[in-house]
Structure 1
Amino acid sequence: MSRFAVAGLQLALNNQNNLDELVHEVMLAKKRFPWLHMVVIGELALFGPSTEQAVTADHPVFEQLAECARENNVWLVPGSLFVADGRQVYNTTPVFDPQGQQVASYRKIFPFAPYEKGVTPGAECCVFDVPGVGRFGVSICYDMWFPEVSRTLAWMGAEVILHPTMTNTIDREVEISLARANALSNQVYFVDINVAGRLGNGRSVVCGPGGEVVHQAGEVREVIAVELDLAHVRRCRERGWHGLGQVLKSWRDCDVQFPAYQQGAHASPALQQLGELILPEQDS
């Protein structure tokens, strides 16, 4: 099977425990579109953006999400939530299969520093397989600003990148451009689902492997039900989008050892001159 139906739920949420509302919305989406295979929700949609709401790995929310996936027979990517591991807190996206098994868990590599305080960066990229369909990768919000994340997911075989987001700032227009760039430079579907209401300004976007916009949402609640064609991804990678650039092949065949990756960002005198990563202060 190369066609796979995904619904992004752009929900108008408040800063509170939204679990019951999310479970209800998943049920409504599957009832309206019984052909759905997967549901994806925005970043920190479950409990909001405060680390005070962090849960532990044995919290009942994970079984409730598993039950939601099982009852609706969908793959469920329920946005993200803060998960405490000892003294560390990670912005974490779990993934559940239609049998209710948690098959993956991703910790956001690039917290939105210095604004996202008290959050420890993750250290590993995350992919998982949908049997008979293909390989999916997961990233979260600010990760999209760093091309290394999506490139690594493509290197790991991802054909679709699922990207829960919580953006409520004026750079959302730029992020839409980044979603398209991540899609085309890695020849993947890029499913960027924002929240709406008090927590986000919406404008979720699904992009195809040529950077084309499959659908862009407005700023209010919206159910974005689309059918992804992974055979289209494979053809683009083989022949180029509309017979044009074969990006991943060119990257594979390039023999340049880029110093930024060989030596690391810390070795750059130019980057060292940028100063400490802190909140901007008021100009005098």
Structure 2
Amino acid sequence: MSRFAVAGLQLALASQDNSAQIEQEVDALLRRFPWVQMVVVGELALFGPSTEHAVPEGDVLFERLAECARRNNVWLLPGSFFVRQGRQVFNTAPVFAPSGEQVASYRKIFPFLPYEKGVTPGAECCVFDVPGVARFGVSICYDMWFPEVSRSLACMGAEAILHPTMTNTIDREVELSLARANAVSNQVYFVDVNVAGRLGNGRSLICGPGGEVVHQCGEVREIMVAELDFDYLRQCRERGWHGLGQVLKSWRDNDVEFPAYRCPASQHAVLQQLGELVVPERYTVQAPTTGTKK
């Protein structure tokens, strides 16, 4: 199978339990577009950005999401939510097959520090297979700012990266460029799904393996549906996008040991000089001195 239909739900949500609404949205989507094969929702869409809403491992929520995938016969990445394991909290994105089986679970490697407090970084990249179609990778929001994540997923065989996001800040415009850059530099489909409403400023997008924009949403609630063509992607990898750069082959065939990877990042002297990772302080404004009037 070459073509695979993916829907991104850019939903207008509040910081509350949105799980029932998301289930209803998935049900409604499949009634309208029964040919859709995979649904992706934005980061932290289920409960919002507070770790106070973290659910324990094995929570009944996982069963509900599995049933949503099963009754709609669809692959489901329901966004992410905080999952508590002992004293640790992880920003977690599960993936469910149309059978209801949970086939993957990704923990965000790069929490948005120093703002995303109390969240433990994940330690493993995540890929899963849709049999007869392609291998998919998963990353979350701030992960896109670190090229090592997407490059690792591509080297693990991912031909599409599913990327739930929650962004409501001025840097969303930059993230649109990063989505395209992640796509073209790894010759993958990059499916970036943001939230809207009070939690996000939307502009979700799907990029093709040449960095081209397949579709970009506006800033309000929107349902984004597109067919990913993996024969086209494989042709781009073989011949280059429009016969141009064959990026992954060049990466494979280059034997340079890059300085950035010869030791852990914490051991690079220039990075040690940057100081602690903390929230910036307010600038101090000095009052003007009063001089003697002549």
Q: In structure 2, what is the Cα distance between the partners aligned to 1:19 and 1:208? A: 30
Tell me the amino acid that sits aligned with residue 220 of structure 2. Answer: V
| Structure 1 position 180, deviation (Å) | 0.1
Q: In structure 2, what is the Cα distance between the partners aligned to 1:257 and 1:267? A: 17
| Structure 1 position 263, deviation (Å) | 1.2
Equivalence for 1:171: 171
| Structure 1 position 232, deviation (Å) | 1.0
Give the paired residue count: 284
Equivalence for 1:144: 144
| Structure 1 position 264, deviation (Å) | 2.1
**TM score, norm. by length of structure 1:** 0.99
Q: In structure 1, what is the Cα distance between the partners aligned to 2:178 and 2:31? A: 33
Structure 1 stretch 261-270 or stretch 9-18: which is displaced more? 261-270
Equivalence for 1:103: 103
**1:88 paired to 2:57:** no
**1:45 paired to 2:41:** no
% of aligned pairs identical? 75
Residue 36 of structure 1 aligns to a residue in which SS? coil
Taking the TM superposition and a 5 Å limit, the aligned residue runs for 1:241-252 are 241-252=241-252
> Which digits, 9 at most, give the CA deviation of each residue in 1:196-227, with x for residues without a partner?
00000000010000000000000011000100
Q: In structure 2, what is the Cα distance between the partners aligned to 1:153 and 1:56? A: 27
Structure 1 stretch 153-162 or stretch 263-272: which is displaced more? 263-272
Q: In structure 2, what is the Cα distance between the partners aligned to 1:102 and 1:217? A: 29
Q: In structure 2, what is the Cα distance between the partners aligned to 1:20 and 1:215? A: 27
| Structure 1 position 27, deviation (Å) | 0.7
Q: In structure 2, what is the Cα distance between the partners aligned to 1:277 and 1:136? A: 32
Gapped regions of structure 2 (runs ≥ 5):
285-294
Q: In structure 2, what is the Cα distance between the partners aligned to 1:230 and 1:189? A: 9
Extract structure 1 runs of 4+ deviating beyond 3 A. Answer: none
Structure 1 stretch 134-143 or stretch 28-37: which is displaced more? 28-37
Taking the TM superposition and a 5 Å limit, the aligned residue runs for 1:198-213 are 198-213=198-213
Residue 5 of structure 2 aligns to a residue in which SS? strand
| Structure 1 position 267, deviation (Å) | 2.1
**1:117 paired to 2:117:** yes
> Which digits, 9 at most, give the CA deviation of each residue in 1:101-152, with x for residues without a partner?
0000000000000000000000000000000001000000000000000000
Residue 219 of structure 1 aligns to a residue in which SS? coil
Tell me the amino acid that sits aligned with residue 42 of structure 1. Answer: G
Equivalence for 2:185: 185
User: Rg larger in 1 or in 2?
Assistant: 2
| Structure 1 position 257, deviation (Å) | 0.6
Equivalence for 2:290: none
Q: In structure 1, what is the Cα distance between the partners aligned to 2:249 and 2:264? A: 24
Q: In structure 2, what is the Cα distance between the partners aligned to 1:225 and 1:206? A: 9
Equivalence for 2:196: 196
Residue 231 of structure 1 aligns to a residue in which SS? helix
Residue 256 of structure 1 aligns to a residue in which SS? coil
Q: RMSD across aligned C-alpha pairs, in angstroms?
A: 0.5
Residue 119 of structure 1 aligns to a residue in which SS? coil
Equivalence for 1:214: 214
Equivalence for 2:289: none
Taking the TM superposition and a 5 Å limit, the aligned residue runs for 1:246-265 are 246-265=246-265
Gapped regions of structure 1 (runs ≥ 5):
none
Equivalence for 2:132: 132
Q: In structure 2, what is the Cα distance between the partners aligned to 1:282 and 1:19? A: 37
Q: In structure 2, what is the Cα distance between the partners aligned to 1:129 and 1:150? A: 16
Q: In structure 1, what is the Cα distance between the partners aligned to 2:244 and 2:33? A: 35
Q: In structure 2, what is the Cα distance between the partners aligned to 1:80 and 1:253? A: 36
**1:236 paired to 2:259:** no
> Which digits, 9 at most, give the CA deviation of each residue in 1:154-189, with x for residues without a partner?
000000000000000000000000000000000000
